[in-house]
Amino acid sequence: MTDLRSKLLVTRTLPQLSQARLDKGFEGVDIVQWKEDCAIPRQEFLKLAKGADGILCLLTDKIDAELLDAAGPQLKVVSTMSVGYDHVTVSELEARKIALGITPGVLTEATADTTVLLVLSAARRLREGVDAVIQGKWGTWSPTWLLGSQLTDKTVGIVGLGRIGVAVAQRLKVFGVKKFVYQGTRPKKEIEKEVGGEIEFVHMDRLLKESDVICVCCALTDSTKNMFNYEAFSKMKNSVVFVNTARGGIVEQNGLIRALREGKLGSVGLDVTVPEPLPTDSELLTFPNCIVLPHIGSGTLETRTAMSEIAIENVLSGIKGERLPHPHDA
């Protein structure tokens, strides 16, 4: 008798509600899951992928030819619990007719919140203030101590005006921003309607030179990799607030460190780095005007649950041979 059961590999424990669905199981599907509190080791991933019909993975899991070969020709779908898929070799999936699912839309609000959090924290020197309290450096009130900057009447530049970029602009608008400029491919009229106010498309050089705050919200692609290098930082105002909540690879990190070392930047807020996790001896962590978060942009219970639910629906649809609810090329 032919075995009609399918194998699903899940590379991490999911948020409570979604994990409960996995634990309950799905008809005709055998679930293999890595449940250790760490990313699945590469060799373990290669071993467990063998014979899988579907893989539900994270952005920490590299999906390449080696992994697909290890899985075998029966693999139908890879569902990543992320919007970005720079960890996936798309051409290899396409060549093998393997579907790729992503989790769009649901990360927007949480990631935009984190971007604004970093803008305000960097601009108001939050790290230095907290350190002063903890280290006993909080003396009597002084009119010149720990002066940051506010957003009133400032120019904000946003690189990548997709869902997250628009949500960032909508949030920052209420702080009295004077002007928004952007780099991206979407039509200005469409964006202005969503933002609820004027926003100007400008060339990158102008955005770098004129912006008081720069928010990186674009995808990591061949054209955006290392986009922000030492040359780019050298064109910015030396008071600029630079924030990246997109992908670490968009910033050439040695160039950023050099710019910070030379005092070319006002303050920096990062939720993404290269590598991740960032080594504790990284020079980035020595700058008092640089705040680094451990890639928690989408880190709310609501968002991570919504992401995992979409990822489950994608992988189950793919295993059944159905069109994915959220394919990468939609």
CA–CA–CA angle 28, 34, 37 (5° rounding): 145
CA distance 159 to 215: 6
Residue 146 in tokens: 């720990």
Which helix (H) or strand (E) segment is 213 a member of? strand 213-216
CA distance 131 to 307: 35
Strand segments, DSSP code E, in the chain are 6-10, 29-33, 54-57, 77-80, 99-101, 155-159, 179-183, 200-201, 213-216, 241-244, 267-270, 290-292
Does residue 128 contact residue 182 with C-beta atoms inside 8 Å? no
Pairing relationship of beta strands 179-183 and 200-201 according to DSSP bridges: parallel
Residue 272 in tokens: 């993404």
- Which of the following is catalytic: 87, 203, 295, 326? 295
Q: Is 326 a catalytic residue?
A: no
Q: Name the DSSP class of 63.
A: B
Does residue 123 contact residue 156 with C-beta atoms inside 8 Å? no
3-state secondary structure at position 181: strand
Sequence-ordered list of residues with C-beta below 8 angstroms from that of 162, at least 6 positions apart, any chain: 184, 186, 217, 218, 219
What is the phi-psi region of residue 40: left when phi exceeds 0, alpha when psi lies from -120 to 50, beta otherwise? Answer: beta
Backbone φ, ψ for residue 238 (5° rounding)? -75, 0
**CA R_g for the chain:** 22
Residues with a known catalytic role: 295
